[in-house]
Amino acid sequence: MTNITRRINLISAVFFLAFILLGCKQGREQAEVADKLKNEGDGYPEIGKPCPPFTLGSITYYHKEQASLEDFKGKPLILDFWTRSCRSCIASFPKVNRLQEQFGDQVRFMLVSREDGKNKGVREVYERFRKRYKLNLPVSYTAELFDKFGVTTVPHVVWIDGEGVVKAITSGAQVKAENIQDFIAGKELKLFKKPNREEEENMARQEESAAENEDTETTGVLYRSELTGVNRAVYNTAFPSSFAPSLVEKHSGFRMDNVSVEGLYRLAYTDTVRSVPYDRKNTSYGKFWARPVLEVTDSSAFEFDREAEKGVYCYRLKVPENKSRDPLYVQQIMRRDLKNYFGYDVQVETRPMPCWKLTIASEKIKRELQTQGGKPERDRSDSGLKLVNRPVHHLIIDLWGSNQLQPPFIDETGITGNIDISLEGFLGDFKGYRTALRERGLILEKGKKNMKVIVIRDPKD
């Protein structure tokens, strides 16, 4: 019998930790350097304690090329860590710029990036965005600070008050006007803490140990499902994009932490293959609409505010081992649980939904794009894309990667073989990407395509 409770879970499963790290992962080869810098300094920043001393180097668009923590005393400081491969970081620059203009001298924003390894060329990336969006934000290129502060993923934001005390460590999502106003006013910031390298590794070890202990102590539990409230022990929202049968089989179930009601229904009713377009043959991308359609009189239950702990849920399921290989069976259980608690009627229907159709201007263009052979190649930067002997689907993947909030991109070029193509121009925003495609005879236009849709309705009387 299903047990649904409001008890808050304190542990998140380690095998879904990969899904919560939505930022851009720094290499594990930096761990030794990070430990060395941490030991030489005063440890990683901790909320409520003085920030360890640091020096920002190679600062541009600031009155000094180098600055220390002492130079910022008396004024709240927000350090916003980013890398050239983090698209969400770069996309946030205009917002951060507006916030700096809004609060003026009351707070100082400082972007912090790195130029080592794969981040070479990051200055040029920032310069292009600075000119395009008329940014007036200083940026420091100090790779050592990533290691000294234990930054493993970006965006990573450290809030330091005028006395040099760390008030919050967050993701970029918490950088908004109301939080900055409270920060300036000296109020307590009740924001989810983003873990540093050490905390992240400790969490992984604890999760692994907890999983082993649970397997040992609860061998008599053959079946269990739980729906609970927010899990404050987990920094981020974590849930799989599909049932990932190999993981379900390994752990005889799965769990989701700090997700919305929509997220619960999406996993319970969506396809059991992945929703990203990497694998053309084994994906629901462009076939299954990404979000449920709500046809309810009151949608307040679907409002999601993690900080206010509104509409935030965790779900855990353990099934018999002989059933763990059947994702449809697992979904059926989850559907019953959602029906029992929320009560909504749900149907999966086929409807015409918005999409972007990629078409070709002429047969002449099709012939020109036909590959000349050679070793398959892909070279991508913010200012261009080069594909050699690759299928058109690689364009779809790249379009999706840069514009994941857009409706699905559908290949309607009719090209069956591989192509050679070079796109030149600013691919960092959607308009620039469409322009670059058009210059090569590829048209991206709005359209409709029949897709499966999760429709949620009020229960019938």
- Report the top-level CATH class of 45-195: alpha beta
Cα dihedral 328→269→238→274 (10° resolution): 70
**CA 409/CA 406 separation, integer angstroms:** 8
Banded pLDDT at 219 (limits 50, 70, 90):
low
Share of residues in the chain with pLDDT > 70 (%): 82
Report field, pTM of the whole predicted structure over 0.75: no
What pLDDT does residue 5 have?
40
User: CA separation (Å) from 298 to 228, 294, 328, 349, 456?
Assistant: 22, 9, 30, 21, 12
Domain boundary assignment for the chain? 45-195, 219-344, 352-455
Confidence band (pLDDT; 50, 70, 90) for 382? low
Other Cβ atoms less than 10 A from the Cβ of 232: the count is: 15
Contact (CB, 8 A) for 315 and 334 = yes
- pLDDT, tens only, 351-364: 999 999 999 999 99
